[in-house]
Structure 1
Amino acid sequence: MNTNKKEIPIFFALDDNYIPFLAVTLQSIIDNSSENYLYNLRILYTNISKENIARIKKFSKDNIRIEFVDLNYYIDRIKDKLYTRDYYSKDTYFRLFLPTLYPEYDKVLYLDCDIVVLDDIAKLYNINIKNSLLGAITEETAIYTPEVKNYAKRVIGVSDNKHYFNAGVLLMNLKELREFGLQEKFLYLLEKNIYSVAQDQDYLNRMCKGRVKYINQMWNKSPAPIKNVNTNKIKIVHYTLARKPWHNDAVLYSEYFWKYAKKTEFYDEILEIKKNYTQEQLKEDEEKTKQLFELAEFETQCVGYDRGPRSYSKIKNTILSLRKKNVLIKQSEDRLAILDEIARLEKEGKFDVDAEKDPPTIPIMPGEVDYLNEKLTSKLKTTVANTIGLGFLKELLRKNQLMIKEINGLENLNNLTGGAILTCNHFNPFDVFAVETAFRSSNKKRKTLYKVIREGNYTNFPGFYGYLFRNSNTLPLATSPKAMEEFIKAVEKILADDEYILIYPEQSLWWNYKKPKPLKSGAFRFAAKNNVPVVPIFITMKNSDKIGNDGFPILEYFINIDKPIYPNENATVKENTQNMKDKNTEVWKKIYENFYNIPLEYTTVIENTEDDENG
């Protein structure tokens, strides 16, 4: 045997039930293999008989090595955490442990065994995925099935349905996956989230999004009802869902399966399986597929709910019980559209664009705004507005429409001796009330918290909220240069008087968005010019078990107040602006990652698709 041949490491995971179909897969790999490579095949299992192991090992050749790896010892440690459904077994999770189990490999192939390979599998292995975590192929069900399409975007959080991959054919960058900490992240997510539609595939998509190189669809072609497919270019046929040629005659591309099945000693057994598969079982398969799509639709309706095993199950059972009583819990189409818009904006990197339309901006004219409440009428309006606003806040808290679970770091406000800029993430019109509550909980009760707002919110916001915008110690920005001069002078006077100003440096409101967005410089420039500190506030959230009128859970807020960031007296205004902004960014990132126990990642990363020459 020539041991100098380049090795192609390939992994499978299965049990005794799939041995006949593994044999067909192996036959197709062997028939299309090249003598220039050594194909090292490892079958990971927990339940395969010695007889079947011996039968599969007969496929070994000079350039084909086959090894069976018993993982009972490994899976016993976590088997109780592994959720399975329908035809899934716990073996399907094995691919997630490959980076840890095989540190000697930097790159491997993982293949399901309900496939046939029509070209040299080494060509797939040789695709350069650079520093991507995975090379993968789009899940075709997410292309033509609306329920799965929406599920992929709204539940798993991929940028679009074409970036939801099928986990049955994977080119795995084990080196990068080890550095990424795939196994640790997966075991953590098992404790925090339940994904019940495609299970391990969903976890992989959730964890690896943004770091996947997408390969030509012909390397994972399902018998899906998609038009204009050039069958001569198909490299792998993947018999997904209930489309199994050993059960059903009416399966697209089944001729490839039978071509290789006839060459194996399992052929008669497979024919017997097909012969004994009843019409009732075929109908059950159709019903399971239908139920799968219904589950995906249901899970999509549960978007925003805590997916932890306890709280998610509780909410899910509540919704199901209400449905049985014909009480419809439907998520607001308006809110769902906003979530889609946020996903689009994040993907395109447009973090400073509001996801919801602002009222038209009517320019503020010079002298129009009494920023410092110097007029008697302004003082009276502010007193009335603040009284009304305080009553409104108490009502929000009483009705659990605003739920403040914790306020952390109050000492960082208490210890301040002069004025300061407060920064906060912006995700809800009511988050200003959360900051106000924290401010009033400190020893700064006698101080005033001014709020910087947009020009249009001051000049053209209707009704009750418009009244509060105009009169509750707000500082509207202005497009008029002269009016903006008045704004700047007011900021300088307020800070000189040792008062406080709340600024949202993200410059956009994204509803219930949990990540910190990139910051603009304005708040930090004001702090640097006026030689005052910035107090970073970042609000984290968890879902309560209460559902709001929009069909989404009401969030519990955790208000995190970090240590003040002071300007450096030896630095320029420009240097201090940048330094303070950078420190604020790091503080928010740290709070986010510590609270949610996940790295801060955006979908803005460009994901490449493999050129046609590789497909």
Structure 2
Amino acid sequence: MNRNTIIPIFFACDNQYTKYTMVAMKSMIENASKEYTYHMHILHTDVSAAMQERVKELENANTRIYFDDVTERLAKLDGELPVRDYYSHTTYYRLFIPDMYPQYDKAIYIDSDTITIGDISKLYEQNIDGYYVAGVRDQVVIQDETFGEYVEKVLGLDRHAYFNAGMLLMNCKVFREENLLQKFIQLLNTYTFVVAQDQDYLNIICKDQVLWLDASWNTEVFGELPCKEEDIQILHYNMASKPWHYEGFRLSEHFWKYAQMTSFYEQIRQELVDYTEEDKAKDRYSGEHLLELALREIQNENNYLNMMKKSNQQSAERLEILERIARLEREGHFDIDVENDPPSRTLMPEEVEYIHKTLGAKLRNRYAHKMGRWFMNMLIRRKQMIIKDVVGIENFKNLEQGAIITCNHFNAFDSFAIQVAYDRSEHKERKFYRVIKEGNYTSFPGFFGYLMRNCNTLPLSSNFATMKKFVKAVDELLQEGNFVLFYPEQSMWWNYRKPKPLKKGAYTFAVNNQVPVLPCFITMQDSNLLDQDGFPIQEYTIHISKPIYPDASLKHSENVESMRRANYEVWKEIYEKTYGIPLEYTCGPVDENGHPINAIMQACDEQEYAKKAE
């Protein structure tokens, strides 16, 4: 290498911490080989122009200093990045480096609470081909039993294979190729680490992809030093133990040597004098609190490692469900549920108040709506439900009477997607109801059971008297101008993209009440996020077609069949246009209603089929 070789080095800090960054940079510049050019980048959101000018005093013939504002990048993740005690959002900035600087194949990231005694170019010269990062084992984790146990029982990592992220040689090229920033975001949406935060995420992402460096390249001032003092290349005053807060702190002479060489020296010395016993008590509390958090996570039955173990079991169950869906499609049995729902029981008429008229029912309904909306917004915020687009919302907005809404059913939460469409339609004077299965009403426990029983739901029933009550309620709601969501496929197949054969119930209600059917069909595409079962979270596009109205010139049965056929054709058209493939089933060809010919006997009413056959 020579002066034409650029060594990129990154720091991250806020305006308050910049003076310590300057000391860290000064130590590096003083000891770096003059045979190279160094580009030192400070990632920040609020460093003032005046502060930047003071730091740039360090520039020389082979050192350039840049202040790079990451506000825009951070805004995309704000609210999702947990912070605690002496950590701030700056701890996450290192993750942006590979994508923000595509010109660099590798780069050094280093914390501002470090002093570089050795030649930083020797670190950069390390060959990291085939690795994500080069780093040093974290001595806090190795030497402290609680933190070691945390790493092993919460993260699922060997305590001797966990690096301290305060100094990293990053393989930026591989970070980009493997899309590691996106993997970090995925993990961020899966679990919130509260102990070492982004360092925990990085260790999990980089597992088995670390080039381990000698401890001298990141010597933490903690416990027993892992190398001889004379061999130290980089000193790291990590956690709360800072030389500018504690007089005579171990190895602090190295910090003050380089602090004296900066224009901030007097200011930093004054900070040492001004650091109060109350401030030191806060440091002790932070350390104790960190230990408590680690212990709490170790004891947490739903910590990351335990959750991953459960997830692996769930993934096997999900694969089994996908196999079951494929088999049922081959057999043409489209109206069979594939999920392992709780056992159901018969819903009796006295158990359900379809239209909330009593004070108690109204209060429960109001509370359920608040909780349901909170839950829906949480799903959207955490990207566990992603609404990419709503197409045709004008068809919803233009409705001037009550209507049956139909939608394909592929997820337990897909009714929330239709709720989003309803909200955007701005029909505040018309209420939105959902038809649900009997077992969803009678058998779901806890939070979801409460929503199922109180949040404008209309449960079906195997009891004749209850069904009479159901029919009367639906008719009344439609006549009052409200919207009722039906799933005419009458089965839920997880993430199944094709429209399934439609039953006639929804269209019978439409004809009986002379209201339109508003066909909605949700198409999906894989996002770059994974769900708890290890499958891509789907991005939804909600297609809202023009309403289908009853035809007064047709007989009742003809009208029902005409509306059902028209609905299926709309869904088929959306499917083929969106996915760019013809709608075909593994069971073979289908009839004009979308029923696989081999499955007509099970998909349609037998008497109706007999009439068709005649």
- TM-score of the superposed pair, with normalisation by structure 1: 0.52
* Equivalent AA in structure 1 for residue 37 of structure 2: L
3-state SS, counterpart of residue 58 of structure 2: coil
Q: 2:291 aligns with which of 290, 293, 317?
A: 293
* SS of the residue 1:99 aligns to: helix
Distance 1:48 1:218, change over 3 A: same
Deviation of residue 95 (structure 1)?
0.7
Report the AA paired with residue 200 of structure 1: D
* Per-residue CA distance 1:40-90 (angstroms, 9 max, x = gap): 101111011111100000100001110111111221222121111112221
Secondary structure at 2:76 match in 1: coil
Superposed CA RMSD in Å reads 3.9
Q: 1:272 aligns with which of 270, 273, 283?
A: 270
- Residue aligning to 1:114: 113
Aligned match of 2:533: 595
Greater C-alpha Rg: 2
Is 1:409 aligned to 2:305, yes or no? Answer: no
Alpha-carbon distance in 2 for matches of 1:304, 1:594: 13
Q: Is the 8 A contact 1:133 1:173 kept in 2?
A: yes
How far did 1:5 drift? Answer: 2.5
Structure 1 segment 454-533 matched on structure 2, within 5 A? none
Q: Distance in 2 between matches of 1:228 and 1:110?
A: 21
Counterpart Cα distance in 2 of 1:271 and 1:114: 16
3-state SS of the aligned residue for 1:77?
helix
Distance, in Å, in 2 between the alignment partners of 1:244 and 1:195 is 24
1:470 is matched with which residue? none
- Residues 240 and 283, structure 2, Cα contact 8 Å, conserved in 1: yes
1:219, distance to aligned residue in structure 2 (A) = 0.5
Displacement after TM superposition at 1:206 (Å): 1.2
Match of 1:188? Answer: 186
Partner of 1:8: 7
CA shift at 1:406, angstroms? 8.9
Q: Does structure 1 conserve the Cα–Cα contact (< 8 Å) formed by 2:43 and 2:68?
A: yes
Unpaired segments ≥5 residues, structure 2: 310-316, 332-337, 344-444, 448-492, 497-529, 537-614
Q: Tell me by how many angstroms 1:7 deviates.
A: 1.1
Separation in 2 of the partners of 1:74 and 1:63? Answer: 29
- Deviation sequence 1:253-286 (CA, Å, 0-9, x none): 1111111111111110000100000112112201
Where in structure 2 are the equivalents of 1:136-151 lying within 5 Å? 136-151=135-150
Name the CA distance, whole Å, in 2 between partners of 1:415 and 1:190.
36
Alignment of 1:386-397 (within 5 A): none
Aligned: 1:205 with 2:203: yes
Q: CA separation of 1:102/1:407 partners in 2, compared to 1, >3 Å: closer, same or farther?
A: same
Q: 1:254 to 1:184 in 2, by over 3 A?
A: same
CA contact (8 A) 2:219 2:226 kept: no
Tell me the secondary structure at the aligned position of residue 171 of structure 1: strand
Which one of the candidate residues 136, 158, 161 is aligned to 2:159? Answer: 161
Cα distance change on mapping 1:405 and 1:184 into 2, 3 Å:
closer
Q: AA paired with 1:9?
A: P
Aligned in 2, Cα 1:287/1:250: closer, same or farther, shift over 3 Å? farther
Q: Assess, with a 3 A threshold, how the Cα gap between structure 1 residues 303 and 144 changes in structure 2: closer, same or farther.
A: farther
Q: Deviations over 1:235-263 (max 9, x none)?
A: 00000111100001252211111111111
Tell me the secondary structure at the aligned position of residue 243 of structure 2: coil
The letter of the residue matching 2:83 is: T
> How many angstroms apart in 1 are the aligned matches of 2:142 and 2:301?
20
Query: What is the DSSP-based 3-state SS (H/G/I as helix, E as strand, rest coil) of the residue aligned with 2:182?
Result: helix
Structure 2 distance, partners of 1:594, 1:243, is 38
Distance 1:219 1:227 in 2: 12
For 2:155 and 2:79, locate their aligned partners in 1 and report how far apart those are by CA, in whole Å: 23
Q: Which amino acid aligns with 1:89?
A: S
Q: Which amino acid aligns with 2:186?
A: Y
1:203-282 mapped onto 2 (5 Å cutoff):
203-226=201-224, 229-282=227-280
TM-score for both structures, normalised by structure 2? 0.52
| Alpha carbons of structure 1 residues 28 and 404: separation in structure 2 relative to 1, 3 Å | closer
Distance (Å, rounded) in 2 between the aligned partners of 1:545 and 1:132: 46
Report the secondary structure of 2:85's partner residue. Answer: coil
Q: Partners of 2:235 and 2:46 in 1: how far apart?
A: 26
Q: Structure 1 residues 242, 407: CA separation in 2 closer, same or farther (over 3 Å shift)?
A: same
Alpha carbons of 1:405 and 1:216: their partners in 2 closer, same or farther (altered >3 Å)?
Answer: closer
Aligned-partner residue type, residue 300 of structure 1? I
> Which residue identity lines up with residue 175 of structure 1 in the other structure?
K
Q: What amino acid maps onto 1:151 in structure 2?
A: Y
Structure 1 alignment gaps of length 5 or more = 313-338, 340-402, 418-434, 441-543, 547-558, 563-591, 599-615
**How far apart are residue 409 of structure 1 and its match?**
3.3
CA distance in 2, matches of 1:93, 1:42: 15
Residue by residue over 1:113-167, the C-alpha shift from the partner in whole angstroms, topping out at 9 and shown as x without a partner, is 1000001101111111121000011111101111110111122222x10111111
2:173 counterpart residue number:
175
